[in-house]
Every structure is written in structure tokens, then in C-alpha cells.
Structure 1
Amino acid sequence: MSARRTELSRRGFLTGSLLVAAGTVFTTACSTDPTGSSAKGAKTTLNVWYHAYGEAGTQQAVLRYATAFTKANPDIAVKVTWVPGDYSGKLNATLLTDSAPDVFEIGDFSEAMVRRGQLAALDDVYGAAKSEFNANAIDSVTVDGKPYGVKMIDDVIMLYYRKSVLAKAGIAPPTTFDALATAAKALTTKKNKGLFVGNDGMGDSASNAVWSSGGELVTPDGKVAFGTPQALEAITALKRLHDDKSLLLGFTTDWWDPAAFTQGVVPMQWCGLWAMPAIQAALGDDFGVLPWPAFKAGGTPVVRVGGWTSCVNAKSKKTEAAKKFVKWLWVEQSALQQDFAESYGFHVPPRTSVAASAKKLSSGTAKETVALSAKHGKHNPATWDTAVSSTFNAAATKIAAGDGDPAELLADAVKKAQSEIDKQLGR
């Protein structure tokens, strides 16, 4: 359920709006911008947006949650809007209109939305429970000391590998980038490739390269940080994977889907914890998980932490009811939070107390993944919007392809990215 993969075709072709009131679900005509009146007896109707999760049962789950909320708060009806396709694009456009949702989820948190006055501060929503959320869940949604969202799930993304395939080839699970590149080349055959990071051959590898070299993408005060010599060396090293022709490109599904891994097309794949149930069903215990390896010995291994955050529209006329819904569901209802994290793919509950009681994450490879996340987890900066990330990834793609001078390409990306961040922050 990572933010990035919602822009891809993995999502079900589900659409529509559903109105929940007094424990009953009403469906309206299929639309990403539905209309409808409040249910009988309710003084307020909240429009709550979700992107169209691909995991089976998720839509039904959020409807159950809305039903339970309305039962506990009969004066507030909840209209659940299920948004397919380019969720971020549709959300950003709708937030500029009178049809904007009252409550909505976002993937990677955006500080720019706070600066534009689109997100309400949620200090009062957390209350004393704030200390129960992991540091990443709080830090990633905080601007100028105030939280502007409540993390719903942490999506952990790491490197899967086939134990039997690597063992047969006499290859140890890689702990440095050099070992990863060597393994990927050695495991590449006429029929198979050694590694899958994305159909574009990049995926998260460029940002992983920066982090694994000990660097950062952007500093907390909004200064671009990916232009260091160490970052340049690590990004340039990605060219080796392309030169060796060890990367799987153009598969039928992208990195977020484990099919290439479970079908034996690759023995190593960058993918998420959400895919683990499907991998277990296909391969049993013949797989392991690793962080993206440190660029060099003594470097920094990387586990990407994404996920989804519930936010309240600051311009809504129903902010108090909206905050009540967010607090009820994502702060007070630990059983529902656990259900959302465990029952539709695997995800890590941001509340440490809920995570501790998540049975499916308490043993085996899932438990190992949670530990890797706690130790090596990295989340994108709040200023890492599409304009900034696209500039960085375009430069990294050219560097990996050998298309231009690496230092010049990265320096140009730093200037462009800094300009975009300065616009975000009004500097």
C-alpha cells in the first residue's frame, strides 16, 4: 500500500462512493466525485477519501469501520469515496474545489500541503496517545512542532531473496552494494535476471543509493542534501547493474507485485511487506529479507518506510466532526487498526502498542522485517514532492544509463530541486 505504487495499475478497477449511516451502507452511482445528501437522523455527513487499495477486502473493511463509527456517533454520517487511478492528482485537484473531502489519506507526507493551508493541525486528536506512536510516524507528519496527520499504516519495503537459489549458487545474502551487484550478475542467466527493482530499472534504487552512502535527500530545514561526493559515487555505481544487464525490465507487473519473485523469474526483488502473505503461499519458507545493502562496508543499510496518513481538510466546514472521525478510528480503535494492518496484506501499525499485539507480525520473517524497519527505516522527506523527486530520479536515470557527465547531472538536479523546495516553503 505504498504511496508510489498507487499511481500504477496494481490497483483494482473499483470506483464509487458509499454512504454509511446508522449502520447501513448505501451505494451511489460510480464516481470519483460523488454527491449525496446526509442520511436521515444525521446532522453532518463527512466525505472520506481512500485510494483504491489493491488488497482484497480493504474496501469492505473501511466501510465496516465507517459503519461502526456512525453507530457510535449517529449524528455523523460517513460517505466513503473510493478513488481509482491517479489518486494524488485527483485529490490535489479536488482540494481546490467545493467538492473537496473532509477527511482524506495521503501517501508520503507533504509539507507543502501544510504551507498551503490544506491540512488541519491535529494536536487535539492525538492527546495523551501521541507517545504511543513510533518516532517515524510522528516526525514524518510534523511541521513547526505540530502534527498534521495520523499515520494509519507503515509500509515497509525491502529486498526479498530466494534462499535456495542463492545457496545453490554459493552466494551469501549481500551486505554491500558490491556484493549485491556481483550476486545479481552471477544469478543472471539466458532465461532469468538476477534482480528486479522496477520496470524502469530504477525504482527506489537512487534514493537507496544516497541513504546507503550515509547521506540524506533533504535536510529537515529544507536544504537539498543529495549532491555530496559520497552520494554521487553511490548513484554512479548503479550503472554497474545496467551494464551487467542483470536487472529485470518491463515485466508484466511492477516492483510492488511479487509475481516476478514467486514465479522464479528473479531470485532477488525489491518489494514490500504487504506482499509477504502471497510470497509465503507460493514459496513457503524459501525466502529471506534484507535491507538494501550499505554502499560500502560500514555504510548504512536501508529499509524504505512509506505508508498512509489520515488528514483533515483545514478548509472543511466540518473540521470538528472530521477530527472526531480520525481520532475515533486511528487513535482510539486499536482492534480496527490491527485489523487494517494484518488482514489485507501485511503492514506495520504505527502505534507501538498495537504493533506489539499484531500476531501475524510477531514471528518468522515478518517479525524480522519489523525489526529491520525499526533499525534501518528511512522515509522520504516531507518536501519530497513530485517536482523534487522527478528532478532527482531523472538525473539518476541518466547517470545510471551513462547519458552525460554524472557530476554535472547531479549538480543541475540539486539546483532545480532546491528551487522547487524553496517554492514549497515560500522562500
Structure 2
Amino acid sequence: MSTRRPELSRRGFLTGSLLVAAGSVLSTACSTDPVGGAAGSGAKTTLNVWYHAYGETGTQQAVLRYATAFTKANPDIAVKVTWVPGDYSAKVNATLLTDAAPDVFEIGDFSEGLVHRGQIAALDDVYGNAKSDFNANAIDSVTVDGKLYGVKMIDDVMMLYYRKSVLAKAGIAPPKTFDELVAAAKALSTKKNKGLFVGNDGLGDSAVLSVFSNGGDLVTREGKVAFGSPQALEALKGLKRLHDDKSLLLGFTTDWWDPAALTQNVVPMQWCGLWAMPGIKDALGDDFGILPWPAFKAGGTPVVRVGGWTSVVNAKGKNVAAAKKFVQWLWVQQSDLQKDFAESYGFHVPPRKSVAATAEKLSEGAAKEAVVLADKHGKHNPGTWDTAVSNAFNAAAMKIVEGQGDPAALMADAVKKAQSEIDKQQGR
């Protein structure tokens, strides 16, 4: 369920829509275009609810089951579940400009641009007394100008996996500092294998993680680009050491989101997500451990990235009140369904603290440790971190780690480009 895994890896039993009313499935559509309302069902309102095409088996059946339970409890509201394959983000953004826009839809990393364009509704009233039960990342990531514009559905935690036996055989302790990570990656590299995999491009999340790990920031809450700071530049220049040492696996058959490089003994350390843990455990048993991205230096902080998916309401839709009712019912009130969605289809952390605390699969071992790491060291990308902004940063970071040009000049140019894009987002 990571926001960055390619859509080609996803599958589902239906590529279209199902209309649910009064607790049962009424009809089928063969495209994602809206169909007629729940004629004859007794429903006064029909909600169109969009999901991206999750690859985990059973997810689509689950969201249909949730919709059925909702319509049974609210027979005046029908729900059309639309399963969207392909480039989900592009389809959502395009459809929001038309009358065919969904009433409720999910998004990956939260986008403040949707708020500034008036496309999603504030949901403070949806949370009620449950707000304090959502973890800090889940609240902070959807807050714009003091208001809440989404309800987090699942947290995807990303961290560093390592092979216990391989490190132990080499006499290497699990790295707790960036210097130790660099040294371990170099020592574990051989003529056939590399010591660390962060992504096929050699960058992945590592540039963002490095900035955070040195006490830097990407963009401030006020929308000012911050990755041009001395802390950020220092960390990115330090990241170049992994490239100079030729310790990174490049161009593998799958990217960082898939654990194959680790489980197939191609690398002993890999950045990956919690969603991969069941597969890693099946392949390696208990011969793995997890770590945050280490602090860059004294005074820095370890980092794990927290992504996931968030449910939002179309502010320009005709059924805002009913849409809010659906989001509240499913993602605030139904703790059993929230736990089911996180545990049964893939492997994720429920954003509600009380729900996460009762999730059996997260109650022991490395999974429990991942929940602790996310709570202690979790960082989410800023809501302004759209494709244009992140591309400007990553392009400069890539040149820095590859030794192409003056780092300060490269980052200054990236800051200028990114700030221009953020100013457009915020209508400045």
C-alpha cells in the first residue's frame, strides 16, 4: 500500500464500480465513469467513493464489505465503490475538475494544494472526541492553517532492514550512526554484492532522510523551502560517501519497495516498508532486524518515514454532508474495520493509537518495534511536497551525491525552483 509502488504491480478482481445500497450490491459498471443513482433502492443520496487499485489480495472485497455495512446502517445513502487502476493520482486530479468528481476519495502523501484550490473539505467536525486518539503524524500531516482536511486510513512505515547473521559474521554491529552505516555498507560490499540498497537510482528516500537526520527540514509549515539550510547541505554532501565507496546496489530487478534484494541475499541491508515484513519473515525467519535511518551526527535524530493513505471529501461535491458521514463512520467510528483494513490486507499500522494497541500482528517482535520507531522517529513529507517540488530537490541531490557541480549552487537553484512551485500551490 505504499504510495510509491508502481501501479503495474497492482491487481484486483474488478476494474470499475459497484453500487451498494441498503446493505447489498445492486449493480456493476465496467468503467470508472459515474453511473446512475440507486434507483429503486430507497436511497436519497448516492456517494461515489474512489480507491486506488490496491495490490493486496482481498482489499477490494473488504472495501465493498465496509460499504455494505455502512448502507445497512444508513439505508438513505447508497455507496458506489469505484476501483481505479493505472495512474490513480493523475485520474483523481483530472476528474476533480469535472462534474464526475468523486464525493470521497483517498490520497497518498497529503497534498496541501487540494486545500488551497478549495477541492477538499475541512473535517474537524468528523473527528469529534476521537482526535486525541490519532497519532501525532496522522494529525500533523493533514493539518493546514489549523484545520484538519483528511482522516488517515493506514500508516505505511519505512525503515532499514538488515540480515542479523551476515552482519554478525562480519563482526559488524547494526549501525546506529551515519558513519557506522557508511562503514558497514563498505565492509559488507564484495565483488559480487553491495552492502546497501536504497533504490535503483541510488537515492530513493535517502536524501530526504539525510536532511531530517541532521535536524534539517524540507519545507516549513508556512510554505518556505528549508532544504537549502546548512544542515541539509551538510547531510547531502555526507551522503555522497556511500556513492564514492560504491557500496550501493543499483539497477536491481525490483525497486526498494520490494524486499527481493534482501531476501535473495543480494544485499544485507535494505530500505523498505512494513508491508514487506511478512514476506521477509517467510523467507528469512528471524534472521532480520530493523533500524531507523541513523542520525547524521551528534545532535541529529534517527528517522523512519511514515506514508500511507488518507480519506478526504470533495468540497465541491453535491453530497458533502453524506460524504463526511461515510468518512466518520468508517475511519473514526468503526475501530474493528480499521484494524481489519490495516492487518488483513497487507501489513500496516492503524493511525488510531487505541486500534494499533489492539492489533495482534503488531503486538510482538519486529512489527511491534516498527510501531515504536514510527511513534518515536516518524517523519512525513510536507503537504507541499508534490512532484514538481520533490523533483527539484531530488535532481539536485542526485548531482551532489554523484559529484556533478558545486553542492551549494545546485541546492540554491533547487530551492528557487521549489519555492516557485510552492508559491503557485498557495496562490502567492
1:34 positional shift? 4.5
Aligned residue number for residue 347 of structure 1 = 348
Matching residue of 1:372:
373
Alignment of 1:267-346 (within 5 A): 267-346=268-347
Counterpart Cα distance in 1 of 2:61 and 2:3: 20
Q: Contact 1:17–1:32 (CA<8 Å) still a contact in 2?
A: yes
Instruction: For 1:112 and 1:255, locate their aligned partners in 2 and report how far apart those are by CA, in whole Å.
Output: 28
Q: CA deviation at 1:135?
A: 1.6
CA distance in 1, matches of 2:332, 2:261: 37
Displacement of 1:390 in angstroms is 0.9
Give 1:23's aligned residue.
Answer: 23
Deviates more, 1:190-199 or 1:272-281: 190-199
1:11 aligns with 2:10: yes
- 2:215 and 2:299 in contact (8 A); partners too: no
The residue identity in structure 1 corresponding to 2:230 is P
Structure 1 residue aligned with 2:199 = 198
For the Cα contact (< 8 Å) 2:7–2:53, is it kept in 1? no
TM-fit CA distance, 1:141? 0.7
Q: Which residue of 1 aligns with 2:414?
A: 413
The superposition leaves residues 86-109 of structure 1 with CA deviations (integer Å, 9 ceiling, x where unpaired) of 111111011001110000001111
Counterpart residue number, 1:100: 101
| Kept after mapping to 1: 8 A contact 2:214/2:299 | no
* Unpaired runs of at least 5, structure 1: none
- 2:383 maps to 1:382: yes
Structure 1 vs Structure 2 CA RMSD: 1.5
- 2:186 partner letter: K
- Aligned residues of 1:10 and 1:257 also touching (Cα < 8 A): no
How far apart in 1 are the matches of 2:266 and 2:34?
Answer: 42
Tell whether the 8 Å contact from 2:263 to 2:284 is kept in structure 1 after alignment: yes
SS at structure 2 position matched to 1:207: helix
Q: Which residue of 2 aligns with 1:423?
A: 424
Paired with 1:26 and 1:402, the residues of 2 have a C-alpha distance of 60
Per-residue CA shift, 1:86-139, capped at 9, x if unaligned? Answer: 111111011001110000001111111101000111121111111211122111
Give the whole-Å Cα distance in 1 for the aligned partners of 2:202 and 2:65. Answer: 39
Please name the residue that 2:113 is paired with. Answer: 112
Structure-2 separation of matches of 1:282 and 1:36 = 48
- Cα distance in 2 for partners of 1:292, 1:388 equals 23
Distance in structure 2 (CA, Å) of the matches to 1:85 and 1:406:
37
The question of whether the paired residues in 2 share the 8 Å contact of 1:161 and 1:269 is answered with yes
Q: Is the 8 A contact 1:16 1:34 kept in 2?
A: no
- 2:152 corresponds in structure 1 to 151
The residue aligned with 1:32 is: 32
TM-score, normalised to structure 1, is: 0.96
Q: Superposed, which structure 2 residues align to 1:206-225 within 5 Å?
A: 206-225=207-226
Amino acid of the structure 1 residue aligned with 2:143: T
User: How far, CA to CA, are the matches of 1:174 and 1:26 in structure 2?
Assistant: 55
Aligned AA for 2:59?
T
Distance 1:411 1:317 in 2: 45
Measure, in 1, the Cα distance between the counterparts of 2:360 and 2:138.
Answer: 21
- The equivalent of 2:398 in structure 1 is 397
Cα distance in 1 for partners of 2:97, 2:317 equals 11
Kept in 2: contact 1:206–1:396 (CA 8 A): yes
CA contact (8 A) 1:226 1:414 kept: yes
- SS of the equivalent of 2:404 reads coil
Answer whether contact 1:153 1:348 (CA < 8 A) is retained.
yes
Matched residue SS, 1:18? strand
Tell me how far 1:29 sits from its aligned partner.
4.2
- How many residues in Structure 1 have an aligned counterpart in Structure 2? 426
Mapped to 2, the partners of 1:115 and 1:242 lie a distance apart of 39
SS in 1 for 2:9: coil
Q: Which amino acid aligns with 1:4?
A: R
* Residue number in structure 2 paired with 1:62: 63
Q: Give the deviation of 1:26 after TM superposition.
A: 4.9
Pair 1:122 & 2:155 matched: no
The 3 A distance-change label for structure 1 pair 404 and 323 is same
Compute the TM-score of the two structures, normalised by the length of structure 2: 0.96
Cα deviation digits, residues 240-265 of structure 1 (max 9, x gap): 22222221222222111112111111
Partner of residue 187, structure 1: 188
